[in-house]
């Protein structure tokens, strides 16, 4: 596995993604971080995907060196992007472009993310990003006013905790209705007893059963929707 970190200028500001390569020409996973920013968690998930035969580019949406630890700072950085959806889309697009320049196969790509990153993935899906599929783990599910899934042509996989108090089952059901209305192929799974951020190791929210099952669902999705 080869790894590379390097600044990427977007709107004149530096961002630092993480490239983890398995093999030349392997399918690409564009991975989006949660509200902590791009940390060792995403790097570990990238390593797991490398071991499965996928190249990974973990995109940075906060900026080089911006890795918030206080809740108020995390809310600030995510809130700024929720308020500026055009910027969020530009960052996602720039991340995908950077992955291509590093050797990622842009014709064989799945986009996935955690929590805030899941919301960013759905933003990219609504923007019509060219990908073979979109996956969220306990991600934000609400569609902003004025947006819809008319440009989304690839399958969507939603992995959600039934006990999530931050993102309700009403949000989950509403998204299902929207995806169905726009004929977007989708699979949506909830895990009993799983709270928000159920995949994050070493926290009181972690639920191993839901983590293992959701990762297996994601693995199956990759196998079906990418070409090896």
181-214 burial string, b = 16+ CB within 10 Å, else e? eeebebebeebeebbbbbbbeeeebebeebbeeb
Domains in the chain, number = 1
Residue 113, domain CATH: 3.40.50.1820
pLDDT tens-digit map of 114-165:
999 999 999 999 999 999 999 999 999 999 999 999 999 999 999 999 999 9
pTM over 0.75: yes
pLDDT at site 25: 92
pLDDT over 90 percentage in the chain: 86
- Asked whether the beta carbons of 20 and 3 are under 8 A apart, the reply is yes
pLDDT level of residue 171 (50, 70, 90 thresholds): very high
pLDDT tens-digit map of 198-219:
999 999 999 999 999 999 999 9
In sequence order, what E strands does 2-99 have?
2-10, 13-21, 27-32, 55-59
* Residue 93 lies in domain: 2-225
pLDDT over 70 percentage in the chain: 97
| Region 14-32 average pLDDT | 95
C-alpha to C-alpha distance for 228 and 225, rounded to whole angstroms: 10
Question: Both tokens of residue 6?
Answer: 């390097």
Pairing of strands 27-32, 55-59: parallel
pLDDT at site 79: 86
């Amino acid at each position: 596995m080869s790894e590379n970190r390097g600044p990427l200028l977007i709107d004149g500001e530096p961002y630092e993604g993480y490239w983890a390569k398995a093999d030349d020409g392997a399918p690409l996973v564009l991975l989006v971080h949660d509200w902590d920013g791009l940390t060792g968690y995403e790097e570990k998930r990238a390593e797991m995907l490398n071991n499965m035969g996928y190249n990974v580019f973990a995109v940075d949406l906060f900026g080089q060196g911006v890795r918030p630890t206080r809740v108020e700072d995390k809310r600030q950085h995510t809130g700024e992007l929720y308020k500026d959806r055009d910027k969020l889309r530009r960052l996602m697009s720039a991340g995908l472009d950077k992955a291509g320049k590093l050797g990622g196969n842009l014709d064989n790509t799945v986009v996935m993310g955690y929590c805030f990153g899941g919301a960013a993935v759905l933003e990219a899906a609504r923007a019509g990003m060219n990908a073979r599929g979109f996956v969220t783990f306990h991600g934000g599910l609400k569609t902003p006013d004025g947006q819809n899934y008319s440009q989304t042509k690839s399958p969507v996989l939603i992995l959600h905790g039934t006990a999530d108090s931050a993102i309700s089952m009403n949000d989950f059901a509403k998204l299902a209705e929207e995806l169905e209305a726009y004929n977007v192929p989708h699979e949506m799974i909830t895990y009993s007893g799983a709270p928000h951020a159920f995949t994050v190791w070493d926290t009181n929210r972690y639920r191993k059963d839901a983590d293992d099952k959701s990762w297996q669902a994601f693995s199956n999705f990759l196998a079906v929707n990418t070409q090896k």
